[in-house]
A and B are shown apart, each in its own frame.
Chain A
Amino acid sequence: MLTYLINGISLGSVYAIIALGYTMVYGIAKMLNFAHGDVIMVGGYAAYCAMAYLGWPPAAAVVFSIAVCTMLGIVIERLAYKPLREATSLAVLITAIGVSYFLQNAALLIWSSNPKIFPNIFASMPPLKIGDAQISAVTIVTICANIIIMIALTLFTGKTKMGKAMRAVSEDKGAATLMGINVNFTISMTFAIGSGLAAIAGVLLCTAYPNLVPTTGAMPGIKAFVAAVFGGIGSIPGAMIGGILLGVIEIVARALVPAVPSDIFVFAVLIIVLLIKPDGLLGRKISEKV
């Protein structure tokens, strides 16, 4: 049971890191960035290429992957989303879906649909033993990475000038502009951070589930989106809690009821939570004004 719980927290941590990207972008640009899941996939391929073709050490590959995804995030925002700043949210949503198709099919052309086997970058680390339970190194690293990212992000949004600018823009774009905040730059930065996190999530995900294909990011992307809504979209701690809960439910359900696809439980719990708390677990309640 303990193993399931820890594996669940580990998978949940990956969801949480992805969900952070969703939630930050949603908070600031009020858009559902459906291409986020595919940025994870690009991150995975970037790290894979750095290690397999260039022979770089894993640490350098991770940095390379983060750099690639950060750039990709900024480029996507500039080319596809920025021209639609004033358009309806549905128009932006469809554009995001277009970007998602584009990334998946570009990856299909470059790397083909044959799965690439992602190397275990934590192979040299021994697994941790607690009683009978054995916990692999990647699980521990994932959970630690999640905690570090969480603390770093909380400090960043709370203490730094850029973080404060982000919160200001998400609250009121017009007022933020009047206060001398460069709104476009702030939004670009948010995309950069979200995509950088997606790269980390991509590497962790691919280490745990080594089959890398162009659609690798799609399902974790949807799950992370669910996690972000679960915790209350726009809220950073909410994304974290939502992600971890989702991971735990998925792994425990898979272990206890193997005959039924675990996704049923994941989505059923989501529906129940949203019916009881329609703004997510930590969502802000916005009162309606007439």
Chain B
Amino acid sequence: MDKKKMNPASKKAFMNYGLVAVFFVVFQVLLSTKNISSSLAGQLVPMVAYMIMAVSLNLVVGISGELSLGHAGFMSVGAFSAVILEAALTSGMDPSSFNKNTGLKIAVLVAAVVCGAIMAAIAGFLIGIPVLRLKGDYLAIVTLAFGEIIKNLLYCLYVYIDDSGLHFSLDPSSVTGTTVLNGPMGALGVKKISSFAAGIVLLFIILIVIQNLVNSRSGRAIMAIRDNRIAAEASGLHITKYKLMAFVTSAACAGTAGALYALNYSTIVPKKFDFNTSILVLVFVVLGGIGNMTGSLIAAAILTVLPELLRQFQDYRMLVYAIVLILVMLLTNNKKFKDLISNLFKKKKAGEEVQK
């Protein structure tokens, strides 16, 4: 056996891979033994998509230290690029034979997800250049603005396929042939090709990418800029380059999540990825602990299924959700409560020592 100890960072990283693996096995067992309600089973792919979103936003908020309020915009770019590519690739195929051909389905899924990630990365690059010049709340508001612009642009985008191929248009009256994207109505007739297992594979890949970035020389540079911009600049770090690196990586991951999410539903509307979704993901990140990837994963998983678990409260469930959210924030961030809890632990420890 190798006696060399792992450094704490890679220990943490491996803990996350383990967590995802355990998570997958538990739900896969529940699924195959049918011990899971159908509404919860339907939540599995969105849950994995939100886990990816949470990890990706954590890279921007936690590691790079910039507040982004428009992350759903990248999810949206990824989702709709994936949907368009899927429609273009499968347009000539017979639906029933496509559904039987698993290999083809996987190939289309991979192509769609890669396309979503690349398009979101391009969007992230274009948006990142102006946005990252700003600071603090001004940066936050501009990301919000870009998120809203992406949503509104999709409202007036019409995509259709006819005999001469794929067409993009801003004019609803010009649409002929098969409609892929119908402005505010969104994408219709999407073939559901993403699955829980595919989501877990993507989550693994993204965790590997992000954790390796964070633990690399570049990752340390990004965190140095977060902690003290002036000192980092004085040490010769290229601020824009590293900030952009974090932002674009995060956008690509969000695009992946969007592609995974969209290909799980037969219809998907641009409104799904609005400001509220950005906020929802931000809630995952903050509740899980800023900069803590494990926390993001757990918070995203729990909070996605929480409204489902609160079903017994019926109409009151979103109200209960809001109260839980406020209480958790108060309990974890109030100094008095924190002191109280740490005192309790101290007393316990002291007691144990006395007993020894």
Contacts and interface: CB of A to CB of B under 8 A. Distances in A.
Given A226-B145, A229-B137, A261 B322 contact: no
Interface residues of A, number: 43
Contact of B283 (A80, A94, A226, A263): A94
Contacts of A260: 152, 156, 170
Contacts of B61: 90
Interface string A79-110: 01001101110110111011101100110110
Contacts of B171: 259
A32 B137 CA distance: 9
Contacts of A84: 329-330, 333-334
A229 B139 CA distance: 10
Nearest to A219: B275
Nearest to B316: A109
Chain B: interface residue count, which band?
35 or more
Interface in A104-140: 105-106, 108-109
A71 interface: no
Nearest to A32: B137
A274 interface: yes
A285 B161 CA distance: 52
Interface in A30-71: 32
Contacts of B142: 270-271, 274
A271 B279 CA distance: 20
Interface stretch (A149-157, A161-169, A198-206, A275-283): A275-283
A267 B140 CA distance: 13
B329 A91 contact: yes
A226 B141 contact: yes
A264 interface: yes
A222 B130 CA distance: 21
Most buried by A among B145, B153, B170, B321: B145
23 contacts: A26-B137, A32-B137, A32-B140, A88-B333, A90-B61, A91-B333, A93-B282, A94-B283, A95-B326, A95-B330, A98-B322, A99-B326, A102-B323, A222-B144, A226-B141, A226-B144, A226-B145, A260-B170, A267-B148, A268-B149, A270-B142, A275-B130, A279-B138
Interface of A: 26, 32, 80, 83-84, 86-88, 90-91, 93-95, 97-99, 101-102, 105-106, 108-109, 222, 225-226, 229, 233, 259-261, 263-264, 267-268, 270-271, 274-275, 278-280, 288, 290
Interface of B: 61, 67, 130, 133-135, 137-138, 140-142, 144-146, 148-149, 152-153, 155-156, 170-171, 230, 275, 279, 282-283, 286-287, 290, 315-316, 318-319, 321-323, 325-326, 329-330, 332-336
Given A95-B325, A267-B145, 12 more contacts: A84-B330, A84-B334, A90-B61, A90-B290, A95-B326, A95-B329, A97-B282, A97-B325, A229-B141, A233-B137, A264-B149, A270-B141
